[in-house]
Structure 1
């Protein structure tokens, strides 16, 4: 069993902000989460998007000990909090960390989203089961979910959003009609969500895309693209994984 860590794919000199991407996994498994599994590979294009959106920011991918969440152990969340604690004193030392997580990773970034370093939380098709503990997330906070997701529940995400808002925590909730859990069929829209969230959170300004400042209602992300983007998205995953390099392992 290896210790949890971060694979940096961008580390500009003097960077004090980090975009940290947490991939999905399984409900229960203590198997090694090797780096060529589909849930990890799916995050690589988002790393490239984040790097382009904020060139002066470090970008990294979370490295868990196990493939699974594993019940009360909540291993993915525990691993994420461990690496955040480590970053407080460094090296390297970051002032702010923006968390972006998909599926199990979405659950992990929510669970750790009250850490003192966190300055933004984006959940992509997050796994938020009924009764999930309410965490006072450090914003901006946004969730995005495909309406045709059968792996994690868009209704669960909406319910958790409602609970957060009832506690006075603003949350932007985005729905993608027709999209499934792997985020492939509407890949350009997912890339745009990541790009615009990073731009907004890092710079405190809106990009030319969607807004995250109005966070008291649910927005439907329009589908301006014709056809199914999945084949191009799979090619993009392969291309990004082969061309984007890990510069440092923390």
Structure 2
């Protein structure tokens, strides 16, 4: 199957940006099919970015659409390469601007992997896929905020909490929040998910 390039969309802009936020969508463990706008993983994070991405009016907001739907090769995960390329593009567009990553599910895992990129100051991970043994080096000297539903059946809240505890040894700060009775796809308590993103980005920027 031919490799499809990622797509980077700019949703919110400002004449005097003080921060950039990159939203990263979820995916599957193995799937080489290209991501399309009809796929729930993409439109879910895109809808969130449209709702909350304006923040305080000083933020430029981007959403990435990965080239492939899956994580795929563990030694060279598909979304990680795409995210690093997208961050290089954002830095070229906005030299010196601090960047916060907001990722859901596989996008949360990707964000934690690429947070070591120049300019990134923090990660907001929503129901992140952080399996046992997932590296923590990417969030060294970064601020990390995680929220996970207790009824998630797709990714593990206990494992993301374990990862968060491990990450405290290298990160500038880590906070893990439990969302009782909520599953993976952010369909319930939408305002809580959105509020968590808004508050976390503001907190990370202020540190």
- Is 1:54 matched with 2:56? yes
Give 5+ residue unaligned stretches, structure 2: none
Task: Name which of structure 1's ranges 162-171 and 58-67 shifts more when overlaid on structure 2.
Answer: 162-171
Residue 182 of structure 2 corresponds to 179
- Is 1:162 matched with 2:162? no
Residue 153 of structure 2 corresponds to 150
1:19 is aligned, of 18, 21, 25, to 21
2:77 is aligned, of 74, 93, 100, to 74
Task: Name which of structure 1's ranges 96-105 and 64-73 shifts more when overlaid on structure 2.
Answer: 64-73
Q: CA deviation at 1:62?
A: 0.9
Structure showing greater radius of gyration is 1
1:139 is aligned, of 142, 147, 156, to 142
Question: What is the number of equivalent residue pairs in this alignment?
Answer: 203
- CA RMSD, 1 decimal: 1.8
Residue 199 of structure 2 corresponds to 196
Residue 226 of structure 1 corresponds to none
Q: CA deviation at 1:15?
A: 2.1
Matches within 5 A, 1:83-94: 83-88=86-91, 90-93=92-95
Give CA deviations for 1:57-97 in whole Å, capped at 9, x if unaligned.
Answer: 11111121101100322111111012212333x13445111
Residue 217 of structure 1 corresponds to none
- Give the TM-score of the pair, scaled to structure 2: 0.90
- Give the TM-score of the pair, scaled to structure 1: 0.76
- Is 1:100 matched with 2:102? yes
Q: CA deviation at 1:136?
A: 4.3
